[in-house]
A and B are shown apart, each in its own frame.
Chain A
Amino acid sequence: MSEYIIQVENLVKKYGQLAAVNDISFGVESGEIFGFLGPNGAGKTTTINILCTLARPTSGKATLDGYDVVKQQNQVRQSIGLVFQDSSLDDRLTGLHNLRFHAMVYNVPKSVRDERIEQVLRMVDLWDKRKNFVRTYSGGMKRRLELARGLLHYPKVLFLDEPTLGLDPQTRNYIWDYILDLRKREGTTIFLTTHYMDEAEKANRIAIIDHGKLVAMDTPAKLKRMVARDIITVKTRDNEKAAENIRERYRTDVRKDGDTLVFDVDNGEEFLPDFISESGIKVTSISLRHPTLEDVFLKITGHEIRDEEVGDTLKEALRRGGPMRH
């Protein structure tokens, strides 16, 4: 039981009639990157709010590092770092002020305070900007500052609620480099929520959440294997013969798509060399596509996670224009 640093049992959070989190249970292992994947409104932020003591569960139980999130709030708070979905910086003060404030309330010893502040600021490349007011920072800089702040007190668990939402691809990559590096160096457990598939791929394990329910949980690779097989597309000198060959040898359905053949196999990486050397037919092109988490999500929930993405640019515009609650 205590091998899990976060342990959640039958957690429910109701807002009026709506069950934002509807009876979910899971465990997060120490040192792993645990991803919560789900569309907007699935209950990701609500779950984080409960785990970080900001919201009280309607029923159920959750512990973090052995501490109960309802009864031992102070211990829980000392053990966690957070990067919220929406900015939680004081933009009327400088980056440095924000970090000092954090160091003080988290009781970072005075002797190491300045050193650590410098360390995290350099890590996110904001050391040169430390004396600028946060309101002059770009969206990416604010995110990086929040990340630095979340790490300042060396938390055991770092919560990242959609850490790269609304950032450009380059900044997203940067932030991911920091996150992965951090985990390697400090062994920090990372609890991440996202509705970006490529981001979820970076997690060691993923829980898929939809309408407050946990619908699947496993490693990204296993999740994908569970629902779909690798998809192969080939073009050969003699498609007819090749198709026959494939049906016989690999026992799979082959579909013609223009001048290509499309079929799926269990293990694409093993299939490719075998097929090329054994088929005896000249292959002019061949490609392998792994199923994505998108395919997984669609298969399990019956709808696409992307549904909401259309509204993303709009949501971003709103986000920039004014603060939003969740």
Chain B
Amino acid sequence: MNNLIGVYTIWYRDVLRFWYDKARMFSALLFPVFFLVIFGAGLTQSIGMMAEGVDFIQFMYPGIIAMSVLMGAFMSGVSIVWDREYGFLKEVLVAPISRISVAVGRTLGSATVATIQGIMILVLAPIVDVSLTVWMVVALIPLSFLLAASMGSLGILLASRVKSTEAFQAIMQMLMFPMMFLSGVFFPMQNLPSWMSVIVKINPASYGVAAIRQVVLGNPPDSPFTITLFGHAMGIWENIGVMAAFGLVMSILAMWSFGRQE
């Protein structure tokens, strides 16, 4: 019971902080808009149609949603490191709630924030000429949440191991940028050089990006956006399955590691 309250409180704080941090909210919207406008305006004409009825900016749009979610999710690790740096983590760690509930609350909190950040991008749909349906919005919420929670657990796992802020930031940059840029946000899965194709398939974020794209752009079996694993074209549920499995492993590791730290 106490632990449930703990989870809720930690979650609530994350959401509250996001709410009061207008700058973060603003930049969460600005960065993706920036990508959409620059790459969209710059490349859409010259690249031409990516698939039947899908131009480059439309192709990129669900990727940008996923990217916002990913960026929000990585914040969970970053904010633990900040909390340690600024001392608040001590207040949390001496509270009469278990370490596991702290880790769970943190994961859920940043996943909520990341989901909000992703869903905020939906405002831009008319600009890129993507028509949204209620079903899409309803499906995107849990999907974004799952993607954020899986990636957020990875962040928490790292934050509980790497104690120095500088080292953590270095690792995050080394991990976050490849994970974001090599996840199919900006390019389709087909016709990639084979080394890149391998990396994209190893990158767990790719499956989240693919699933979000499948929701927004539909899911034709011959789509050039589909991830093909060992000759098998991954359907949306299979992508979700990969995400969930990765998330499960990461969150177990994160809780174990977070619980053991001094």
Contact = CB atoms under 8 A, between A and B. Distances in A.
Contacts of A91: 86
Interface stretch (A74-82, A234-242, A256-264, A286-294): A74-82
B262 A55 contact: yes
Contact of B88 (A77, A90, A107): A90
Interface in A124-161: 133, 149
A87 B87 CA distance: 6
B95 to A, nearest CB: 4
A54 interface: yes
Given A77-B94, A107-B96, A86 B17 contact: no
Given A52-B94, A82-B94, A92-B17, A107 B87 contact: no
A49 to B, nearest CB: 8
A55 B90 CA distance: 11
Interface size class of B (residues with CB under 8 A): 20 to 34
Contacts of B94: 52-54, 77, 80, 82
Q: Which label, helix, strand, loop or mixed, suits the secondary structure of the B interface? A: helix
A227 interface: no
A80 B98 CA distance: 16
Contacts, number: 74
B222 interface: no
A159 to B, nearest CB: 9
A319 to B, nearest CB: 11
Interface of A: 52-56, 74-75, 77-78, 80, 82, 84, 86-93, 97, 101-102, 104-107, 133, 149, 323
Interface string B85-116: 11111111111111000000000000000000
Interface of B: 2, 5-6, 8-9, 12-13, 16-17, 20-21, 83, 85-98, 262
Contact of B90 (A78, A84, A93, A107): A84
A136 to B, nearest CB: 13
Contact of B85 (A54, A89, A323): A323
A18 to B, nearest CB: 16
Given A105-B97, A107-B2, A88 B90 contact: yes
Given A54-B262, A104-B5, A104-B9, A78 B87 contact: no
Contacts of A105: 5-6, 9, 92, 95-97
A90 B83 CA distance: 8
Given A105-B95, A105-B97, A106-B95, A89 B87 contact: yes
18 contacts: A52-B94, A54-B93, A54-B94, A55-B262, A74-B97, A77-B95, A80-B94, A82-B90, A82-B94, A87-B87, A88-B87, A89-B91, A90-B13, A97-B16, A101-B12, A105-B96, A107-B5, A323-B85
